[in-house]
Amino acid sequence: MSLRVLVVDDQGIVRAGFAAVIDAEEDMTVVGEAADGAQAVRLAAELAPDVVVMDVRMPELDGIAATRIITGREDAPRVLVLTTFDLDAYVFDALRAGASGFLLKDVHADELLHGIRVVASGESVLAPSATRRLIGHYASGAGAGAGSRDGSGPRELGTLTGSQRNVLALVASGLNNAEIAEELGVAVGTVKSHVNALLRKLGLRDRVQATILAYDLGLTRPNPPGTHL
């Protein structure tokens, strides 16, 4: 089945370009286009896309606010934010709003398509510059104690088993499932089960949100810039 994609951008030529690239793929179909955040919210509800490719700076309702509304719904699509502006506030706000990925608009077409497939699969993707900013932000101590996006805190963490807390810390350190399995000496399938369980217990959508929560609560310290999430 084709991935259903909604493309959101206030510039018609940019929107059309993204849509053409996406529609050319055998495993993707553009089911709609929106010119602002308000239209994106409405079409996301009407068209039930798998992934929303979302611009940030738009009239009526910006992409961050639209993302927060869309991802707050039941059976919400994944949101991949694309922006021309590589600013700290956009990175943090987009991820806290529920986006599963953040890329700059100057990415190669192959990177965009890969990003759509990655977030559709339930994983997360960040532009290298966004990863450096996120890690640097917390490495400096600026993010400590800020609180998670959805209010999760120590009480919710108390529902995790010891193994799940260990996996959460390793996820926040930027390790993938295979690397975590090697670190803990367990099967990759076991790690996947732990990740799924901790996301469910904490009410988080994906590994990016889990990473932000772990940083906010001081459960882990980020690795040096260059680590991928």
Q: Which pTM does this prediction carry?
A: 0.71
Q: Which tokens sit at 178?
A: 């295979």
Predicted local confidence at residue 157, as pLDDT: 77
Predicted local confidence at residue 48, as pLDDT: 96
- Kindly report, residue by residue over 131-151, the tens digit of the pLDDT: 555 655 555 555 444 444 444
Q: How many CB atoms lie within 10 A of CB 187?
A: 11
- Bridge partner residues of 3 (DSSP): 28
- Kindly report, residue by residue over 78-109, the tens digit of the pLDDT: 999 998 766 656 777 888 888 888 888 888 99
Ramachandran category for residue 167: left, alpha or beta (phi over 0 → left; psi -120 to 50 → alpha): alpha
Q: How many CB atoms lie within 10 A of CB 73?
A: 11
CB 10 within 8 A of CB 35: yes
SS3 readout for 155-212 = HHHCCCCHHHHHHHHHHHCCCCHHHHHHHHCCCHHHHHHHHHHHHHHHCCCCHHHHHH
Q: Is the pLDDT of residue 130 over 90?
A: no
The CA distance from 136 to 157, in Å, is 25
- Bridge partner residues of 34 (DSSP): 8
Q: Is the pLDDT of residue 112 over 90?
A: yes
